[in-house]
Amino acid sequence: MNNQLFDTSENLAHELDKGDHLSHYRNQFHIPTTSSGKNCIYLAGNSLGLQPRKAREYIDQELDDWAKLGVEGHFHAKNPWLPYHELLTEQTARLVGALPIEVVVMNTLTVNLHLMMVSFYRPTPERNKILIEGGAFPSDQYAVRSQAHFHGLKEKDAILELKPRHGETILRNEDIVKQIEETGESIALILIGSVNYLTGQAFDIQAITKAAHSKGCLIGFDLAHGAGNLNLNLHQWGPDFAVWCSYKYLNAGPGALAGCFVHERHSKKIDIPRFSGWWGHNKHTRFEMNSTFDPIAGAQGWQLSNPPIFQMAALRASMEIFDSASMDRLRSKSKNLTGYLEYLLTQMLPDNCRSITPSEPDQRGSQLSLRINGKSRNLLDKLSARGIICDFREPNIIRVAPVSLYNNFSEIYSFVKTLDELSRSL
């Protein structure tokens, strides 16, 4: 939707809600309420997604089967536990634009990241550097630094950080490509977040991957803020691996299971170094208890242990919604919601509150990061007291995430109007 079609009237918000063909999905989630019982305006889905109403039903089903069947639930539960993770395979593949053989739900994000770096960060005297964003999420920075230490390398020698140009807040995609072209022959691995957690900037996965492979670098992406937020086409774009969590946009609950993508070209390379576990062993011989590891072809070959069924049940409840709504439709609404939010902020807010997120719709997801001059933490508390839930990052950033599955245009209007009122008193 072109921003020229927006105006600052509340009537427009109501009209946009009437034309929202995805509005019924909101009813499939529990919306937090204030002490008076009024629905909150929840704009923190980039930090923790809301609970799907079916999550309890799906978890209760597994609790009931455990109670009735005990260990036999692995084979005779309504949804047998032994192949339970495969219930998510097709949906996960569609979500990230992959082949089923390329994806698996397992572990948590940083665990998966370490497992991938065991396999794909193999430094040599000539190629030993890891290229990352200077402003990457801290756990990614900790992970790559610990991997460098594990290989006996010093951080200052092994880690290359991408920095914005002087006076700028976000990285330019062309500068990332240029860095790869200039230093790629010394780089063993590139790790980029598909969407930067702080600025909300979305990177060009396809172009960066192409540049990496042209210089012989392996490349992976952290999709923590990309999965369930952006249209992804990982198989075609061709990164070597990707990892993501499922408690943000994917609404699987706090500390939920994560996802992993390994490109098909690596699917049958059984000689790739990896940390092995018995759930990654050939399914047909797994219970013969052989001591020689025979990995399943594809991403499932990186599994370690049998998965937690209750967590998978919660994720199933959300993934069914995504599959029904489709990422194409969700992304279309996301662009409209975020564009409307940006328009209202530009038109209605004072100069002490400005977005640092790219204004181009294709360079961001469902998030605007607002830099607040003044007592920004105090402002967040005041918003919360009004029943508006956002997210704060030091020193002065309020992150606002309008999520297509459960947010609407009227909420965006109410948020901006309230923010305008409160920010003028900072």
Read off the pLDDT of residues 235-245 as tens digits, 9 standing for 90 and up: 999 999 999 99
pTM for the predicted model, two decimal places: 0.96
Main-chain phi, psi angles of 281, to 5 degrees: -80, 150
Give the pLDDT mean for 118-128. Answer: 97
CATH architecture of the domain formed by 60-323:
3-Layer(aba) Sandwich (3.40)
For residue range 303-330, list pLDDT tens digits in order.
999 999 999 999 999 999 999 999 999 9
At CA 195, angle to CA 137 and CA 155, rounded to 5?
A: 35
Interatomic CA distance for residues 368 and 353, integer angstroms: 12
Long-range contacts: 1-9, Cβ < 8 Å, 24+? Answer: 1/335, 1/336, 1/339, 1/340, 3/339, 3/342, 3/343, 6/339, 6/340, 6/343, 6/344, 8/344, 8/347, 8/348
Topology (CATH) of 3-30+327-423 = Aspartate Aminotransferase, domain 1 (3.90.1150)
Identity of residue 97: G
- Looking at residue 293, its pLDDT comes to 94
Express each pLDDT in 73-88 by its tens digit: 999 999 999 999 999 9
Q: Which residue has the higher pLDDT, 426 or 390?
A: 390
Q: Which regions of the chain carry the CATH code 3.40.640.10?
A: 60-323
Residue 331 CB contacts under 8 Å (≥ 6 apart), including other chains: 230, 231, 404
The backbone torsions φ and ψ at residue 154, rounded to the nearest 5 degrees and listed phi first, read -90, 140
pLDDT of 113 > 70? The answer is yes
Model pLDDT, residue 59: 98
Structure tokens at 387: 């029943």
Question: Which pLDDT belongs to residue 1?
Answer: 61
Return the CA Rg of the chain. Answer: 22
DSSP for 66-112? HHHHGGGHHHHSSS-STTGGGGGHHHHHHHHT--GGGEEEES-HHHH
pLDDT score recorded for residue 199 = 96
> 3-class DSSP state for residue 44?
strand
Bridge partners of 364, per DSSP, are 201
CATH 3.90.1150.10 residue window(s) in the chain: 3-30+327-423
pLDDT value, residue 4: 61
Q: Tens digit of pLDDT for each residue in 284-296?
A: 999 999 899 999 9
Round to whole Å and give the CA distance between 304 and 332: 37
User: What average pLDDT does range 374-379 have in this prediction?
Assistant: 80
pLDDT of residue 414 exceeding 90, the answer is yes
User: What is the per-residue pLDDT across 146-196, written as a single tens digit (0 to 9) for each?
Assistant: 999 999 999 999 999 999 999 999 999 999 999 999 999 999 999 999 999
